[in-house]
Amino acid sequence: MLTDRPIKAVAGDLPRQWMFDDYFDLIVWYERGDAEQIHGFQLVYDREGNPRALTWMRSGEFFHAAVDTGEQTPLANRTPILVADGSFPSAAVSREFLRRSELLDHEIRELVVAKIAEFALRSAPHE
């Protein structure tokens, strides 16, 4: 089950909330001065296997990417970055998210589910 993890505020960054479990990381950003207004989110899935991320921002940014962990050797601690990735397994991600997000705030849960479906429609091949 996705649970809330305390997160330290970063000067100049948007207020955010971080929820996680063994499969997902969900980071939700809020508008400055309005803790109720969601600015965007990033859903990282398959954290332990082949991590990928779906990112949505109210400003229009909406993309899917692989997470390059940057770790090529245990002697170096490199910063993970997002890199271009292919298809988005929307049905599997949606099913797993619904199963693991029952305890999340209703508004967050519904937004993420809706955006998973929207991205699947946007990225579906058109004939």
Domain borders along the chain are 3-123
Is the CA virtual torsion 124, 82, 66, 5 positive or negative?
negative
Chain position carrying tokens 């990033």: 42
Give the pLDDT band (50/70/90) at residue 48. Answer: confident
Is the separation of the CB atoms in 108 and 28 below 8 Å? yes
Cβ contacts of residue 82 below 8 Å, gap of 6+?
53, 55, 65, 66, 67, 68
Asked whether residue 20 carries a pLDDT value surpassing 70, the answer given is yes
Asked whether residue 33 carries a pLDDT value surpassing 90, the answer given is no
pLDDT tens for 73-117 read: 666 666 665 666 778 899 999 999 999 999 999 999 999 999 999
